[in-house]
Structure 1
Amino acid sequence: MAAGEFSVLHQFTTAEGSYPNPLIQASDGNYYGTALQGGALNWYGSVFRMTPAGAVTVLHSFNGSDGGQPRGTLVDGHDGYFYGTTSTGGTHGGGTAFKVSSSGVFTVIHHFKGSATEGSAPQCISNGNDGNFYGVAMFDGANDKGTVFRLSRSGTVTTVASFNGTNGTMPANCLTHTGDGVFYGVTTNGGANNAGVVFKVATSGALTPIYSFVGGTSGSSPTGPLEWGIDGSFYGTTQSGGANGYGTVYRVTKAGAFSRLYSFTGGADGGIPKGGVTMANNFVYYGTTSYGAATGYGTTFKITAAGAQATLHAFSAAEGGRPSGHLLLDASGKLIGTTSPGNSGGGAAFRQNP
């Protein structure tokens, strides 16, 4: 593939899953992921495997009692299973944690209670250094504003910290681990200006906001995961605000020094980026917008650490369009992403050459 070349890998049917979430690549070379909706029951979602050539196999279809509407990426446990969460369903209706093998052996390991001591609607989990997984739940907890939790491989959930509004509310997406025993993430609301925060949380439970979004031209409502850059700073996106109201790309240091790198216009460059950015092997950052371009279906873009932005691809309805998830940099150096349904069944998976 030439630089910037784009191709659709797979058009999902509703039975395979609708609104596919971001993918991971396992040691077998295949991609694994979940779909927010669709599946055999056409609502609760699915877990699937996709080959590099684009062939999809459904590993599990959710039915509500075992969870529903999974969000975020799967995590490779390196024990023969992939681990993930659903945002709804289960015994208490607060979502579930599950594991699934590459052959489709599926087990629910936890049902979220949605109480003062345990959150609900888990969004995503990430690997920790201690063999456990760490994630965020969007609702409930001590202050009814979401939690950070620890999940053991056997399914024991421990609330690490509860959000209180000042340090954020409604945490979104996966936590980013920098190898120092601390996780970093974002909340879509809360903070000093109720425009969202970037926070850090230690596995011991100390949760600290390191930057509160101001709103307006600085951006508001960050949703995608943080990308830890080669310079030791974090890079991310806000889905609203900026100079034109269509979202931003920003940089923030561990100490909380903030820079807005780019404001989307909603025109040819797209708008409303929801999936954060991914650093490729040329140290340039890549992402997607879910709106804008001549087609109205969003774009893929690249941006340097200095803020020089370029649009790579404008989606069409036939390609699914309106991508909202994080891009995967696969083992071959290609970027792999997913789109919403558009005019094509359940959405699509695509490949973009950096």
Structure 2
Amino acid sequence: MKKILLLLVIILSSCEKNITNIYEYEEPLGTGLYMYGTTYEGGANGLGTIYRVDQNGQNIQKLFDFTTTTGGNPTAGLTLAGNGKLYGFTNSDGQIVNAGAVFATGSFYEFDPLTNDLQVIQYFDDLSPTGYLHNISPLLHTNGLLYSTSEITGMGDDGKIWSYDINTSTISILDTLDANIYGPNKSKLMEASDAHIYFTTASGSKNGYGAIIRFNTATDSLEVVYASPGGFPNSNQFEGASNNTLFEASDGYLYGASKLGGANNKGNLFKIDKNGNNYQNLWSFEWIVAIEGWDPQGGFIEKNGFLYSATAQHNQQDANSGAFYKVELATGNLTFTNFLDFEGYRPIGTFIESSNGRFYITCSGGTITDGSIVEYNPLNGNITQRHDFNIGNNGVNPLRNSLCLVDLGAL
């Protein structure tokens, strides 16, 4: 019982959450605590990898090479479930499984961190009832189910929301993301304190600029919480949310950012209550400003009264490497804390806090051409590159990827 309780604590606090592998490794520093992630490309087959680093973001070990059989090019990272297994998606190759389908579109898989074995749960093709293009890792809900959305189906709509029961190995299609009502989802799902699931859409809804959507877990149906009237020239509104995960802070508000919108159409930061009321614009991102970042992509982490996140760009487009920022909950004030240079380029994931109290995020490329893992110390603002994916054959380009913390000793 102690082991089960400890595992549940680790799952809730660390992660939003049979093809035999041959890689050998040693336990670094005598601990079983690791951060797991995926790369979009590289590895033995050029289709990406599963890897892990220690609790300090170092000592990388490649654990699995994706293949044309398993599916490749994962873009979402991993989620730790209550059975101690990791779950994720690939978005290319795999197998055609539906009659009349033309091309394979990846897979939904389970990875065992104790044995490093991977099992494909479901292959996707262009006629999959669940839809295809899964650019987000699944959400582990407190009810024990994994939830995900697809971006596209071959049925004339823009994806599905569906769940997976790890105890019965059952996939259940729950609702349809019709473009005219909801729009395609490109951002990770989040569970709020009311047990419902919230996310932003990139477009669709009545205005065509995207919306905040609630999946009501009591009725298994989608609801529009807030339909954005668009960013520019509606200067305080979000638009085109892509890889922009909502976050419920300790003040009870949902906080979000968008890739577009705001006064300069370079994205904005906002907060809103769970019923779609009291929308407040906190910041409009702007480009060609040397001391500011823009193009926010990723979610938030909260610590000591502040929210922390990142932008993929700063100053001029594709000339600089991105920025870290924090938001004071008491005032809503935003402060840019760091501007990336040789540490990494284009951070487009979400920070994870390790056992050492420091934050870690993956960068997708740039001057560090194949990506990197960057450490951020919220106590003094120091940033340090902990791994350069250009080194070795461990995979490259950890795209849209957030690390997942796993304590192997508790499994």
Equivalent position SS for 1:307: coil
Unmatched segments (≥5 aa) in structure 1:
1-22
Return the offset for 1:35: 1.4
Taking the aligned partners of 2:86 and 2:367, their CA distance within structure 1 comes to 31
Question: What's 1:100 paired with?
Answer: 111
Cα displacement string for residues 96-125 of structure 1 (whole angstroms, at most 9, x for unaligned residues): 111112241111111124437321112320
- Please state if 1:38 is matched with 2:42: yes
Equivalent position SS for 1:310: strand
Taking the aligned partners of 1:264 and 1:325, their CA distance within structure 2 comes to 18
Equivalent position SS for 1:174: coil
Question: What's 1:127 paired with?
Answer: 140
Q: Where in structure 2 are the equivalents of 1:61-100 lying within 5 Å?
A: 61-92=65-96, 93-100=104-111
Question: What's 1:232 paired with?
Answer: 252
Return the offset for 1:250: 1.0
Taking the aligned partners of 2:372 and 2:337, their CA distance within structure 1 comes to 18
Letter in 1 for 2:337: L
Taking the aligned partners of 2:157 and 2:365, their CA distance within structure 1 comes to 33
Equivalent position SS for 1:148: strand
Task: Give the ranges of 4+ consecutive aligned residues of structure 1 lying more than 4 Å apart after TM superposition.
Answer: 23-27
Taking the aligned partners of 2:51 and 2:194, their CA distance within structure 1 comes to 32
Question: What's 2:6 paired with?
Answer: none
Taking the aligned partners of 1:157 and 1:89, their CA distance within structure 2 comes to 21
Q: Where in structure 2 are the equivalents of 1:296-311 lying within 5 Å?
A: 296-305=320-329, 306-311=331-336
Return the offset for 1:138: 0.9
Q: Does the Cα contact within 8 Å between 1:143 and 1:163 map onto a contact in 2?
A: no
Q: Where in structure 2 are the equivalents of 1:254-273 lying within 5 Å?
A: 254-257=274-277, 258-266=279-287, 267=289, 268-273=291-296
Q: Does the Cα contact within 8 Å between 1:129 and 1:179 map onto a contact in 2?
A: no
Letter in 2 for 1:240: L
Cα displacement string for residues 4-33 of structure 1 (whole angstroms, at most 9, x for unaligned residues): xxxxxxxxxxxxxxxxxxx95999321011
Letter in 2 for 1:261: L
Question: What's 1:219 paired with?
Answer: 238
Q: Where in structure 2 are the equivalents of 1:124-163 lying within 5 Å?
A: 124-140=137-153, 143-153=156-166, 155-163=169-177
Letter in 1 for 2:326: K
- Please state if 1:324 is matched with 2:343: no
Question: What's 2:298 paired with?
Answer: 275
Percent identity reads: 24
Number of residue pairs aligned between Structure 1 and Structure 2 = 329
Equivalent position SS for 1:271: strand
Q: Does the Cα contact within 8 Å between 2:55 and 2:356 map onto a contact in 1?
A: no
* Residues 287/41 of structure 1: CA separation in 2 closer, same or farther (3 Å cut): same
- Please state if 1:173 is matched with 2:182: no
Letter in 1 for 2:162: F
Taking the aligned partners of 2:92 and 2:245, their CA distance within structure 1 comes to 21
* Residues 282/141 of structure 1: CA separation in 2 closer, same or farther (3 Å cut): farther
Return the offset for 1:179: 4.7
Taking the aligned partners of 2:15 and 2:198, their CA distance within structure 1 comes to 20
Letter in 1 for 2:131: G
Instruction: Return the TM-score normalized by structure 2.
Output: 0.75
Unmatched segments (≥5 aa) in structure 2:
1-13, 18-30, 97-103, 379-411
Deviates more, 1:167-176 or 1:148-157: 148-157
Question: What's 1:28 paired with?
Answer: 32
Q: Does the Cα contact within 8 Å between 2:16 and 2:79 map onto a contact in 1?
A: no
Letter in 1 for 2:66: F
Cα displacement string for residues 23-47 of structure 1 (whole angstroms, at most 9, x for unaligned residues): 95999321011112222222x2211
Taking the aligned partners of 2:77 and 2:254, their CA distance within structure 1 comes to 19
Alignment counterpart, residue 349 of structure 1, candidates 370, 373, 382? 373
Taking the aligned partners of 1:342 and 1:114, their CA distance within structure 2 comes to 32
Taking the aligned partners of 1:163 and 1:77, their CA distance within structure 2 comes to 25
Taking the aligned partners of 1:265 and 1:242, their CA distance within structure 2 comes to 9
Question: What's 1:193 paired with?
Answer: 207
Equivalent position SS for 1:138: coil
Taking the aligned partners of 1:86 and 1:329, their CA distance within structure 2 comes to 25
Question: What's 1:109 paired with?
Answer: 121
